[in-house]
Structures are given as C-alpha cells and as structure tokens.
Amino acid sequence: MENRDPIPDSGPIVRVLSIILGVALFGILATAVLDLDVEATGLTDTVMERIGESGVDHPPTAVLLNFRAYDTWLEVAVLLLAAWGALVLRQATRLPEQPAARSPGPVLDWLVRMLIPLAIVTGVYLLWRGTDAPGGAFQAGAVIGAALLLLRLSGYRSIGLFSAAWLRGSLLAGFAGFMAIATLLFITGWTFLEYPPAWAGLIIVIVELLITWSVAVSFVALFVAARPDDSATEPVGGER
Amino acid sequence: MSLVGIWVILIPLICGLAAFAVGGRSSRVIGLIGAGLTFLLSGLLVLHVWQSGVWIYQLGGWDVPLGISLRADGLSAFLIGMTGAVGLGISLYAVRYFEALTPGPSQDPSAALRTGSGRGEESGAGDSPEAERGGTEVWLPGASYWPLWMLLWASLNVLFLSNDIFNLYVGLELLTLASVALIILQREQAAIVAGLRYLLAAFLGSMAYLLGVALIYADAGVLDLGLLADAELTGTATQVAGGLMAVGLLLKAALFPLHFWLPAAHSSAPAPVSAALSALVVKGAFYLLIRLWFEVFESAGTVSVEQMIGGLGAVAIVVGSFQAIRQERLKLMIAYSTVAQVGYLFIMIPLAGSFGDPEASWRFEAWTGGLYHALSHGFAKASMFLAAGVLLSALGHDRVWHLAGSASRFPVIYLSFGIAGMSLMGLPPSAGFVGKWLMLRSAVESGQWWWVVILLVGGLLTAGYVAIVLSQALQHDVDEHTEPHPVPKLMTVMVFALAAMSLLLGLRAAEPLELLEIGAPFQTLMSVVED
C-alpha cells in the first residue's frame, strides 16, 4: 500500500446520499433538542447543595475533581494512551530534537523571550483560579504545552531534551499521582476516591498540578510524534 | 472481600503504569504479575457475586445522582470472569511471543515472527530510526505491549463494572485507544492503515454514543443506570438518544454492515492482540448495548426494530461465514469468522425482546444463550487466533492453501483448532452448543421459527471454514520445504488450554448459567439450567 494515496473521489451518488443523511440527522437531532425542557437544571442544584463538602468553590472543579473524580482520573488515562499511541506509531522511546536549528530573527527572539514567562505565569494562574473560577488543570496544561511548542517551533530546544525516562515520567505523572493518592487513602480505609474533608482542597491542588504537567507534555508529544518525517533527519542540538 | 471490585480495576492499572515506568525487557515481569493478580481478583469477584449477590459501591462516598456508582451483578461477574481467564491465557502466550520479537545480537527479529501480512513487508524494530538514536533505550514492541495490554484489560473491567452512562463512555474511549495502540505495535503498513480505520470507526461510534448521553442527561437529569431504568423515559429526546447510542455501539460491536473495519484490524495485529480484540474487546461494546437495551430502554424497543437487528445478525452470519470460507489467509478467515459469530450474539435481541408474552421464560433463555455464546466464542476465538500466531511464527506465512500436511508438525495446534471450531459450530458437548441450544429453545418456544433456520445454517457454514483448514492440514503430501522455526512450548500449551476451556464450559454449564440469574433483568422463575 502506498503511503500517500490520494483520497478517492466519491461519486455524485455518494455525495447526494451523504447530504441527505446529514440533513436527516440534523432534522432528527433538532426535533430531539426542541423536545427538551429548557428549564431543566439537571444536577446543578444537587451540586450547589453539597459544594461546601468538596474542598473547592467552583462547581465544575468540584464535579471534575471530587464528585466525579473517577471520570477525570480515567480521562487522564485516555490522554496518556493517546500520547503513548503516538510514540508507538514512531516506535520511539523519546521524541526527536528539532530537525534543524533555525536562527530566529531578533523579533521572534524577543517575542519568545517575552511570551514564555508570560505563558508560564498564565498557566499557573489558570490552575490556581480553578478552585473558585473557570480554569483548572486542562486549561493550564494547554497553555504550558503551547509554551513548550512555541520554544520548539522557534528553534529552541524543549521536548527533545527529555530522556526516555523523563518523557515517560512526565506523561505518567497526572494519572499515576492521582492513582497513588487515591490508592493510599483507599488502603488506609477511606472509600475509593474519597478525600478526607480537611485535606480535600490540598489534594485537589496537588492532583491538578500533576495533571497540568502531563497534559502539557502529552499535547507536545502528540504534536511532535504525529509529524511524519522528522525522523529522517538527524537531530541538531546544542546550537543555542 | 467486598472491595475486590475496586482492586480488579486498580491492580491492572497499577501494574500497567509500573510496566510503563520501568520500560524495556523487565516490563514483561510486571505484566505477568499483573495478569496473574488480575486473574485471581476476577475469580474472587465472581465468587463474591455468587455468594452475596449484586455488589454496589459509591465512589468517593458521594451518593448517586451526584457521584458515580459501580455495580457488579451476575452479568458483570460473568464477563469479568471470562476476561480474567482469557486474559491470563493470552498473557502467558504473549511472554514467549514477544520474547522472540526482541532483537537479539545476531538474528533478524522480523524474520522470526510476522504479524499477519505474510507478504514480506518491512516489519519489526529493524526499520525504526529511533532505535539507533538516543543511545540509552531501544524501542521494543514487547515493552509497549505489556502496559497497553494491562490498560486494555483494566478498561474492560471498568466497562463491566460502571453503572453510569457517562463513565461508560470514558471506559469505551480507554478501550478504543488501547486497542489502536496495540494494533499498530509492530508498525507494519497494513496494520497502521487498519489501525487508523479502526480508530476513525470507533470514534464515530463513541461520538454517537456521547451525543446520546448528552440528550439523555438533558432529558432525565441523571446519568446513573439504575435511576435511568426507574425513570421510565419516553420522550422524543430519549428515543433519539437511544437510537444514536445503539448505532454507535453496533458500529463498535461490528454488526453487519458496520463490520467493515473489523477484518483488517483484527487480522493485521500481533497474535496476542488479535486474540484480545476478537475475544474480549468486541464483547465490551456488545455488553454495553444489551445492558442499555434490556435495562434502560426496555420500553422503547419495538418488535420491528428488534427483528431488524436480528435480521442484520442473520446476514452477518451468512456473509461473514461465506467471506471466511473465501479467505486465503488464516488470520483473515478467523477475523471474518468473528463477523459471523457477532451475528449470533444479536439474534438474542429479537428473541429476548418484546415479541409475544412479556412474562415468558424464553426471554431469559435467549439472553443467557446469547451470553453463553459470547463466553464460548471468547475462549474459542482467542485459541484460534493464538493458533494462527503459532503457525505464522513457525512457517513464516499463514496462507491456508500452503498449510498442507502441517498437522503432523503441529498436532496440538490443529487439535485445539478443531475443538475451538466445534464450539463455534455449536456441536455438543462444547460451550457453543449450550449457547446455541438455549437460543434454539427460545426460538421454538416463542414461535419465531425463522431464527431456528438461521442458527442451524450458520453452524453448517462454520463447519465449512473449519473443515477447509483441517482438511488442508491433514493432507499427506507436505507442502513445506523448509524446516519450521521452533515455537516455544508455552505458546502451544496456551492455545490448547483456551480451546479446552471452550469445551469444559459446555460440560459444566450449570454454575455459569446460575451466575447470570443474579440481578438479571428478566423473570427467572422457571429454571432453565436443567439441561
């Protein structure tokens, strides 16, 4: 099989059928949505009633990290599997260095120097804000991941510096840390994924911190590992 | 003891992560420990449900509807037990399988084992540019196999135990991603194409399911299966949601004509992965479908829809079997056989559905029959794929017409293949017979004679492709000129053990059937285990 098959051109019948199918699906979904009760609040009231016991003040954070922590914990595993799958595709234990070190012009250079600290501060702020306002691990991780990516794209060394063990450790940190805390508490007699009320806030911050780092590295790993031809070029490092 | 349901999820995850962290060759030791422990815990969970009935656990101490609950009834325990036993067999086989793949100092690793292309394509770690680089660690397929396989196993247990429709979605995602990563493990072109196609099909299925979850939550305001079952949902939104979820899950369970992704994906993966995909992963989506169908959307199913799904199952049996007969490569034949066998599972829907008297005992018979068929298929199909893996490693190919005379070299492999085939055909005294017998009885009692015809025809067609392989293997004139590579004994032993299980479960069916009664969504007043 060829590597880059052109996408076969679908005939007019397939196209017309696709349009009909799409319109029909839209119609069905629209009917269903119009049928819904617009006043319905779902579980919002239940969440607000018990948010005081959760250790945080922001309802989505309380739901994600405490009431339905099981979902979030497994979602972090989904992310880990996605990043790991990309590494399997490359058959690599670590990520390649930038193929060729470009020399960024003075403008780019200045911009990167300005943006990286800003991105880190923004990321940490988003993480911290998550306890009482929109924000949290996934958003913070995305911002910090973007900073790592910006470094890489402008010719600086970033993710390629990670040794195999560091890369694995970073990808695992969120899921494994979450699991370690939950398992320790579980062994000492708590319900699985239950936090001692006095410690709930602290545990949530620690878990979010670890998830942030894993999310950031996973995003970069997905971006870097998904590029097809980097591996053909020898790594160039140490120029900067 | 009552916490065994948590450990059966935690242990494979812990061992999977440990295998991740360690990397390299030692990951298989951790993987094996994980497999052994998970097997034991699965057994304990079955025992616990058997002795104390349905197990329910509120995660984080939050009650539903705020939190998520886990629940193990007879059905969950039945499938976790199956996964535990099949999983252990696959793991023991995989130790030797991936050992042979590890590049040694002198031999070319890709020559020893090939996954399934059999066309001499590039394979193995030999063409990996990253392997040379970095100095510290070489990429090994085995080192990635163990963590991914442990995560896959854990995600199956997550799925079987979850009692929350959103959490079930997360479980499905875990299952899909672990499967895809395992399919592409050896980085053959064919496997990558098949893996990507599988990923896209499975994601489409997941998205349809998730859309359904969103609509149900908007309509009912809860996500817990138990609360949803009590809510008696009848609105348009719920019906649309049910339809979306059903289509998404049918795609993942590969019911005809949504099976298009299956043969390539299941046949191009390494043998222990093919076995897990066909024996276990397909059952995950099937499990979720019948869970929702008979417990949440109970009132929504109409006779015509049920008959239509059964009809698709019937077409799957005929088309899948004919395709299997036509295949030239053994692994593809076995993969098409899975398409056909999945068809049998869905004959359960019209038989156990709303046709006729709602109190009738044939419903429970059909439901248990279908599940028993799933059980027997789990063991038999795992054995078949592992057998194909042995032949592929030994001979370097799996072309059916070039297996002539190889039975004298691999007597145990073909004996196992025959036993597993017997179970797929539904011949007594195999486990496949028990499942088919229960479904036949249900069809006769409910007066849906047309399913009797298809169940019998399907058995004959299955006999067709099993006979092709065996008759080739038993020929006198030997086709092979070269000496086959030696294959580790443990691999052969596991092929036989799994086939033997598919036979033994037919001889001793009373207990597993009784297990299914615990928390079953049907009237079980009339005992059906007297056979």
Q: Does residue B7 sit at the A interface (CB-CB below 8 Å)?
A: no
Distance between CA atoms of B414 and B420, rounded to whole angstroms?
Answer: 10
Which of A69, A78, A172 is facing B177, going by the closest CB pair? A78
pLDDT at A239 over 50: no
pLDDT at B133 over 50: no
* DSSP label at residue B72: E
The helix or strand, by DSSP H or E, that contains position B265, with its residue range, turns out to be helix B262-268
Distance between CA atoms of B424 and B321, rounded to whole angstroms?
Answer: 11
Verify whether the Cβ–Cβ distance A43 to B221 is below 8 Å. yes
Q: What are the chain A neighbours of B236 within 8 Å (beta carbons)?
A: 31-32, 35
Q: What are the chain A neighbours of B239 within 8 Å (beta carbons)?
A: 32
The helix or strand, by DSSP H or E, that contains position B493, with its residue range, turns out to be helix B489-507
- Angle between helical axes of A69-90 and A200-226 (0-180°, round to 10): 20
Distance between CA atoms of B416 and B495, rounded to whole angstroms?
Answer: 7
pLDDT in the model for residue B236 = 83
Amino acid sitting at position A232? A
Burial class (CB in 10 A: 0-12, 13-18, 19+), A167: buried
User: 């971006």: which residue's tokens?
Assistant: A223
Instruction: Let me know how long chain B is.
Output: 531
Q: Which of A176, A88, A163 is nearest to B179 (CA)?
A: A88
Give A 1-60 residues with CB within 8 A of chain B.
1, 3, 28-29, 31-33, 35-37, 40-43, 46-47, 50
Amino acid sitting at position B519? G
pLDDT in the model for residue B455 = 92
B71 beta partners: B56
The domain limits of chain A are 58-231
pLDDT tens-digit profile of B263-291? 999 999 999 999 999 999 999 999 999 99
Q: Does residue B128 sit at the A interface (CB-CB below 8 Å)?
A: yes
CA A146 centroid distance within chain: 11
Q: Does residue B221 sit at the A interface (CB-CB below 8 Å)?
A: yes
User: 């780092």: which residue's tokens?
Assistant: A213
Q: Does residue A73 sit at the B interface (CB-CB below 8 Å)?
A: no
pLDDT tens-digit profile of A136-161? 888 899 999 999 888 888 877 777 77
pLDDT in the model for residue B108 = 39
Close Cβ partners of B296 (under 8 Å, ≥ 6 residues apart): B165, B225, B228, B229, B233
Tokens at A25, concatenated: 């699906």
Distance between CA atoms of B314 and B375, rounded to whole angstroms?
Answer: 19
User: 């053994």: which residue's tokens?
Assistant: B330
Q: Which of B346, B342, B317 is nearest to B460 (CA)?
A: B317
DSSP structure string for A137-164: HHHHHHHHHHHHHHHHHTT---GGG--H
Write down the ipTM of this complex.
Answer: 0.86
* Chain B nearest C-alpha distance from A51 (Å): 11
Distance between CA atoms of B30 and B19, rounded to whole angstroms?
Answer: 6
Ramachandran angles phi, psi of B55, nearest 5°? -110, 130
Instruction: Please compute the mean of the pLDDT values over residues B450-476 and round it to a whole number.
Output: 91
Which range, of B19-23, B232-236, B266-270, B380-384, averages the lowest pLDDT?
B232-236
**End-to-end CA separation in angstroms for chain B:** 33
pLDDT at B144 over 60: yes
* Chain A nearest C-alpha distance from B281 (Å): 16
Distance between CA atoms of B337 and B467, rounded to whole angstroms?
Answer: 13
The domain limits of chain B are 301-531
Tokens at B136, concatenated: 């510290």
Q: Are A32 and B240 in contact (CB under 8 A)?
A: yes
Distance between CA atoms of B418 and B495, rounded to whole angstroms?
Answer: 11
Distance between CA atoms of A102 and A88, rounded to whole angstroms?
Answer: 28
pLDDT in the model for residue A49 = 81
B56 beta partners: B71
CA A132 centroid distance within chain: 21
Q: Does residue B170 sit at the A interface (CB-CB below 8 Å)?
A: yes
- Give the pLDDT band of residue A12 (cuts 50, 70, 90): confident
A197 CB-side CA count, 13 A: 6
- Give the pLDDT band of residue A104 (cuts 50, 70, 90): low
Classified as helix, coil or strand, B57 is strand
**End-to-end CA separation in angstroms for chain A:** 41
The helix or strand, by DSSP H or E, that contains position B70, with its residue range, turns out to be strand B69-72
Handedness of CA B161, B165, B167, B172 (dihedral sign): positive
CA B215 centroid distance within chain: 29
B58 beta partners: B69
Cα-based distances in Å from A103 to A113, A237, B337? 14, 13, 58
Preceding amide of B65 cis, omega within 30: yes
pLDDT at B124 over 60: no
Higher-pLDDT residue of B104 and B426 is B426
Q: What are the chain A neighbours of B144 within 8 Å (beta carbons)?
A: 84, 87-88
Distance between CA atoms of B199 and B106, rounded to whole angstroms?
Answer: 36
Distance between CA atoms of B345 and B283, rounded to whole angstroms?
Answer: 9
Q: What are the chain A neighbours of B6 within 8 Å (beta carbons)?
A: 186, 192
Pairing of strands B55-58, B69-72: antiparallel
Verify whether the Cβ–Cβ distance A89 to B217 is below 8 Å. no
Tokens at B214, concatenated: 């969103």
Ramachandran angles phi, psi of B487, nearest 5°? -115, 135
Classified as helix, coil or strand, B318 is helix
Q: Are A211 and A137 in contact (CB under 8 A)?
A: yes
The helix or strand, by DSSP H or E, that contains position B161, with its residue range, turns out to be helix B141-161
pLDDT tens-digit profile of B466-482? 999 999 888 877 665 66
Q: Does residue A85 sit at the B interface (CB-CB below 8 Å)?
A: yes
Which of A75, A90, A190 is facing B170, going by the closest CB pair? A75
Residue A157 sits at the vertex; the CA angle it makes with A152 and A163, to the nearest 5 degrees, is 110
Classified as helix, coil or strand, B339 is helix
Ramachandran angles phi, psi of B148, nearest 5°? -65, -40
pLDDT in the model for residue B354 = 79
CA B443 centroid distance within chain: 25
Which range, of A134-138, B76-80, B376-380, averages the lowest pLDDT?
A134-138
Burial class (CB in 10 A: 0-12, 13-18, 19+), A107: exposed
pLDDT in the model for residue A134 = 74
Classified as helix, coil or strand, A61 is helix
Distance between CA atoms of B274 and A140, rounded to whole angstroms?
Answer: 39
Phi/psi region, residue B519 (left: phi>0; alpha: psi -120 to 50; beta: rest), is left
